[in-house]
Amino acid sequence: MGTRALVLFAHGARAASWATPFERLRDLTAARLPQVPVSLAFLELMEPRLPAEVAQLASGGVDDITVVPVFLGQGGHLLRDLPLLVAQLKIDHPGVAIKVVGAVGEDPAVLDAMTAYCVASLT
Amino acid sequence: MGTRALVLFAHGARAASWATPFERLRDLTAARLPQVPVSLAFLELMEPRLPAEVAQLASGGVDDITVVPVFLGQGGHLLRDLPLLVAQLKIDHPGVAIKVVGAVGEDPAVLDAMTAYCVASLT
């Protein structure tokens, strides 16, 4: 029964506009989880990076972090980079439980919504 | 009223497994559009690239192509690379109408589904 936090983990990009849907996702999620801090963290190119965000949460007393990869496909970033990052974070923060769930793009309901969008784009 | 096709445009990655949710999206979309060819095309690292796919469709008699960017954020790939690709394709295929719609990640229903997934990941 720790103090929990949810971190939405995204790739990052050079264009600031890139982050807009991720910020909207963070805000929508936070509105549905009023008792849990919900934040964004990035792999590269944008701040905060995941290690800085986890350190920040840990220093604030969070000891149970769920990381949601906001990625469509599971490529090298999720298969290799994220596990390495999380392994290091577990060493750096031994008192913090860190769980990584599947990528949003693998979720059937997300796929259904994307399908509906693709179908509608033709009409 | 031309002969239409729908192209789902994704980034591409080195890991073949990365394409799995995109292939599922293509199959789900195709099942709902039995009269329209639905295909995947990539920006980089995977085949077919967008120009090859458009050339293939055009040579098969398609003259009205809708491109759906299967991206979450609109960064340099969608703000710069894709418009340049499409501008060149319109020069190369003057008889083919090519329309690009918004990225799937900007769609409110897709955001809602991602939100539900993020919320559920905590429980």
Instruction: Say what the ipTM of the complex is.
Output: 0.95
pLDDT at residue A75, as a whole number: 85
Spans of chain A, pLDDT less than 50: none
Q: In sequence order, what are the residues at sequence separation of 6 or more whose Cβ sits closer than 8 angstroms to the Cβ of residue A120?
A: none
Q: B2: closest CA among B86, B67, B60? A: B60
Judged by a CB distance cut-off of 8 A, whether residue A3 touches chain B is: no
Find the CB nearest B109 among A4, A113, A121.
Answer: A113
Spans of chain B, pLDDT less than 50: none
pLDDT at residue A58, as a whole number: 97
Residue of chain B minimizing CA distance to A30: B119
Q: Name the CA radius of gyration of chain A, rounded.
A: 15
pLDDT at residue B76, as a whole number: 87
CA distance B15 to A72: 13
Judged by a CB distance cut-off of 8 A, whether residue B90 touches chain A is: no
Determine the distance in angstroms separating the CA of B98 from the nearest CA of chain A, rounded to an integer.
12
The ranges assigned to domains in chain A are 4-120
The CATH number corresponding to B4-120 among 3.40.50.1400, 3.30.70.20, 3.20.20.100, 3.20.20.70 equals 3.40.50.1400
Determine the distance in angstroms separating the CA of B65 from the nearest CA of chain A, rounded to an integer.
9
B35: left (phi over 0), alpha (psi -120 to 50) or beta: alpha
